[in-house]
Structure 1
Amino acid sequence: MLPSQPLLHTAVFALTVLQALASNTFIAAVYEHAVILPKAAIKPVSPDDALALMNSNMDILEGAIKEAAQQGAHIIVTPEDGIYGWRFTRETIYPYLEDIPDPVVNWIPCTDPTRFAPAPVQERLSCMARNNSIYVVANIGDKKPCNSSDPSCPKDGRYQYNTDVVFDPEGKLVARYHKYNLFIPETQFNYPKEPEAITFETPFGKFGIFTCFDILFHEPAVVLVNKLQVDTVLFPTAWMNVLPFLTAVEFHSAWAMGMGVNFLAANTHHTSISMTGSGIYAPDGARAYYYNMKNEDGRLLVAELDSHPRLSAAFPPAVSWSSYALNVERFSLNDNDFGGLIFHDWFTFTELTMPEGNRTVCQKDLCCHLSYKMSEKREDEVYVLGAFDGLHVVEGQYYLQICTLLKCKSTDPETCGHPVETAQTKFETFSLSGTFGTNYVFPEVLYSGVQLATGEFEVLSDGRLKSKHGTSKPLITATLFGRLYEKDLPHPLRNVSIP
């Protein structure tokens, strides 16, 4: 006699848990999704039309989830805005929203869909997780009614939140996160009154979750890692790439390394607005990543990670980011220092005029030191050492200290800092350090073609970013990206631009 479906599912789930418990590693998946977008609408569509669009996207996500499960994945992350897109006003997004309960209610929407208000999206996501015995992470919209007894209640009588949800392999809702740091165009959403630090336990470590723009701020991102000690961060995102420091694969891999956690980043794919770049990152580098500006294809990534990276032999040593730079004599200062903009920030640059040498450049409290040797000094390519110490004020406000070895777009110094995707110059060695006033520094090395330099550089305990054996590909940038959170403006003022 064959077991009943519920008994069979329970047996499969128990086996999955036992397998995870028996291993110090787990299989992670992320899916970069080319989202089917709604047509531009002045008035809200009907609930049926909204659900039809969301089901079209979920059809694709379900295929990716099935494939990931077949490859042995224990968890899969899908992108921010991955179910309905982003072309909305506050009114036009309303038909796409559901009331998402607090996970303490112990709810499996797949088996009990009518327990709360109609929630067809949560029901379907829950069934995807349950039918494939896999954790499913998705981004949807939450609506919460309010009234005049709440002085903060919006005029339309409801809060609307950009929301991440997590369903476990039984289909149970185990996590709900409301995005705190909304990006400037997200006027359709509210932010929660207090930042939420959301974690949940799995058989393969402690997980935390936040969304896109959150990564640039202290709460909740740093709190999850430093205070709550999560092993792995889940990161649905709709990330628009900005060279040279803020491409998705570059910055997300650097954040994982700087914070010492696993990081599962699932991006939307929309090349017309520079959206691409997903990855599975460990503290010692990328396990898998995808960056493609040439077509509109989605991509599933699957890779193995340590369940508890802090216990791994490969876990990077603690870094005192300013130790070397504060104790080394300044290399020769150049009288020909000049200024230039990188993503609206005014850097101080000095040109690397010789095939090898030592350089120092300073701005305010930050001095950046570089020792380097090029494989060949090309006449048609210019590299500079740059420093920035100040408040970034465009597309959000946050305080930065950055040291960068950077290729200029042309031989004209005025192009230094302009976006560059290709290069021809390789380096035999480089060593970059800075007098940072923060312990939150994220090391980036990006090669020609927007490729990561996984395994080809290291960060020493004294704060030096060094090449191990030279660069195997031409270099776009080697950067130490520092964040001084204590100099940020209060939330939500930091989430706006200064004209």
Structure 2
Amino acid sequence: MNTKAGQETRKTDIELNLQVFESAAKLAKQNAADIVVFPENGILFGLGTRENVLKHGEFIPNEKGVSLCTDEYATKTPIIHRLACMAKTNRILVAANTIDVQNCSSSTKSKCPSDKKFAFNTAVLFDRNGHLLAKYHKMHPFGEMTLNVPLEDELVVVDTEIGRLSLQVCFDMIYSKPGVYLAAQGQIDTMVFPTWWFDELPLLAASQFQMAWAFGNKINLLASNIHKVEVGSKGSGIYAGGQGQFEVVSAVDAKSRLLVASLPVKPTSTAAHCPLNAVTHEVPQLVPIPSNIQYRYQSINLTQTEVLKVDLTKSLATKCSRGVCCTLNYQVAAPSTDTVEDFYLLVTNRTRPGAYPWTEEFCVLVHCPQLENLKACSLMTSNRPLSTTFSFVEMSGDFSPDALIYPSVIGSEHKVLPKSDLWSYKEDKSTGKSKQKFVLSVGSKSSSEKAHAVSTISLYGRVYSRDPPYEQRPTGGIEL
């Protein structure tokens, strides 16, 4: 799209995207929201070349408190101007994602690109008056070879009337900084999270990992994912991590939706329970909505993973992998009848293979409808109702002492299941300092009245201290 016609098409797309954002911001304010969060690449999509990145990216001021809804910025930085004016017009905080283009300075000369510009994947936050509260440069681009990695860690914390907020973007959620680090330091109440996430089952579907991340770090999370189900991108949510509550939108159609919910300002507050009172609204679209798209997702690479088929006629299964041991106690309420439904216990302690390696330990019970061989489940979990149900399942895992554990339970049709009275999660303190033991329970051994259809039960551990250094590399997939 280097032709004049191509550039005009892109300008039209940007304008249509901004108009949808303006409709959503207005709708959020009508529903008494304090903040609206938009997805990664929601404005600038598919730029492809460095030339296009520099053409459509904008210089975002480095000073906090700058008023950007003014005539001065309307022509100089039109995207940032429109976002600032959305905030000012609706008297609402606005968080969005765009590209920040900065000139190279003398202090960065050794790392300055040949075009003398840095271009960063950037999250921005505006206050109710259209002032720039904060900007954050994505520390861990997923490929995105036309963009730059910031030269230093960016640990953004901003005080607002709705608590202490921070920003991270998409692939940052895999790593310790900024979010996990800031949460562990007790520096933030809520993480604002624009993302374009590609679902990988059974552990890293967007809504699943958002929920697990918020629960594991015990903070609020506002996650806004781009909605392109044909490439496996769906699932946004509002999560009260300290209270174990959440609400998600994860439809498989092509419609855009706005999720509105209430959150406690302090996520670990001991005050009275704060109901989410979540409501979902459709956002009017300005282009035809396709009706024949199909949700596609990836399944995990099982390299260095132990796989055990679970015998549903028994009640116990156990498996170990390089010091990580997982035990499963279970009772089947209703075995499958017309359809063969196999379940497997997956266990690993590994550095994950691929362009971006990281260290993970996990215990996972997963339904696998298409097992080509013991090491190759070609389709993890089911997108249809399950006929096999359990009275209870108790999964326990022994992990490294420095692993951070993220729990999740997925039902049939890829539905993320709430904790409430369905499942519980705790650390067993009896193991000493050499290991951590965590227990996730679904249902109750003492009650066989309820049956639970689950496709995935997981204890996903991240050992950030053993991660290889991050290095930006091509992914071979879709990039900005």
One fold, TM greater than 0.5?
A: yes
Residue type at the aligned position of 1:430: V
Give, in angstroms, the shift of residue 312 of structure 1. 3.2
Deviation digits for residues 230-258 of structure 1 (CA, Å, limit 9, x no counterpart): 11111000011111111111111011001
Deviation digits for residues 94-148 of structure 1 (CA, Å, limit 9, x no counterpart): 22100001243x21111x3427981111111111111111100000101011267
Residue 41 of structure 2: which of 70, 81, 84 is its match? Answer: 81
**1:95 counterpart residue number:** 55
- Secondary structure of the 1:304 match is coil
**1:109 counterpart residue number:** 68
Count how many residue pairs are aligned between Structure 1 and Structure 2: 428
Equivalent pair of 2:74/2:81 in contact (CA under 8 Å): no
Residue 356 of structure 2: which of 392, 396, 411 is its match? Answer: 396
Q: Distance in 2 between matches of 1:277 and 1:89?
A: 28
Q: Distance in 2 between matches of 1:66 and 1:286?
A: 26
Residue type at the aligned position of 2:133: V
Equivalent pair of 2:145/2:474 in contact (CA under 8 Å): no
- Secondary structure of the 2:216 match is helix
Give, in angstroms, the shift of residue 416 of structure 1. 3.8
The yes-or-no answer on 1:296 pairing with 2:254 is yes
**1:70 counterpart residue number:** 30
Residue 465 of structure 1: which of 440, 446, 450 is its match? Answer: 440
Give, in angstroms, the shift of residue 409 of structure 1. 1.8
- Secondary structure of the 2:13 match is helix
**2:133 counterpart residue number:** 174
- Secondary structure of the 2:316 match is strand
C-alpha change, 1:312 and 1:219, in structure 2 (3 Å) is same
Equivalences for 1:441-460 in 2 at 5 Å?
A: 441-454=405-418, 455=420, 456-460=422-426
Deviation digits for residues 181-218 of structure 1 (CA, Å, limit 9, x no counterpart): 0002x111101011201111111211111000000001
Identity %: 30
Deviation digits for residues 151-191 of structure 1 (CA, Å, limit 9, x no counterpart): 1000111000000000011111001000010002x111101
Q: TM-score, normalised by structure 1?
A: 0.81
Equivalences for 1:355-374 in 2 at 5 Å?
A: 355-374=313-332
- Secondary structure of the 1:98 match is coil
Q: Distance in 1 between matches of 2:304 and 2:310?
A: 19
**1:158 counterpart residue number:** 117
Q: Distance in 1 between matches of 2:30 and 2:38?
A: 17
Deviation digits for residues 437-476 of structure 1 (CA, Å, limit 9, x no counterpart): 1341100111111111102211123221111458765211
Q: Distance in 1 between matches of 2:403 and 2:392?
A: 25
**1:17 counterpart residue number:** none
Give the CA RMSD over aligned residues: 2.4
Deviation digits for residues 48-99 of structure 1 (CA, Å, limit 9, x no counterpart): 7654432210100110110110000000110000002134121222221000
Equivalences for 1:9-24 in 2 at 5 Å?
A: none
Q: Distance in 1 between matches of 2:316 and 2:128?
A: 55
Equivalences for 1:33-44 in 2 at 5 Å?
A: 41-42=1-2
**1:13 counterpart residue number:** none
The yes-or-no answer on 1:492 pairing with 2:458 is no
Q: Distance in 2 between matches of 1:83 and 1:396?
A: 26
C-alpha change, 1:436 and 1:354, in structure 2 (3 Å) is same
Greater shift in the superposed pair: 149-158 or 441-450? 149-158
The yes-or-no answer on 1:425 pairing with 2:388 is yes
Equivalent pair of 1:288/1:302 in contact (CA under 8 Å): no
**1:474 counterpart residue number:** 453
C-alpha change, 1:84 and 1:115, in structure 2 (3 Å) is closer
Deviation digits for residues 243-286 of structure 1 (CA, Å, limit 9, x no counterpart): 11111111110110011011111011112211111111112444
Equivalent pair of 1:396/1:496 in contact (CA under 8 Å): no
Residue type at the aligned position of 1:431: E
Q: Distance in 2 between matches of 1:314 and 1:436?
A: 34
Equivalent pair of 2:371/2:379 in contact (CA under 8 Å): no
Equivalent pair of 1:179/1:211 in contact (CA under 8 Å): yes
Q: Distance in 1 between matches of 2:5 and 2:181?
A: 39
Q: Distance in 2 between matches of 1:199 and 1:113?
A: 29
C-alpha change, 1:116 and 1:56, in structure 2 (3 Å) is closer
Where does the alignment leave 5 or more consecutive residues of structure 2 unmatched? 274-298, 429-437
Equivalences for 1:122-141 in 2 at 5 Å?
A: 122-141=80-99
Q: Distance in 1 between matches of 2:89 and 2:268?
A: 32
**2:174 counterpart residue number:** 216
Where does the alignment leave 5 or more consecutive residues of structure 1 unmatched? 1-40, 316-340
Equivalences for 1:53-64 in 2 at 5 Å?
A: 53-64=13-24
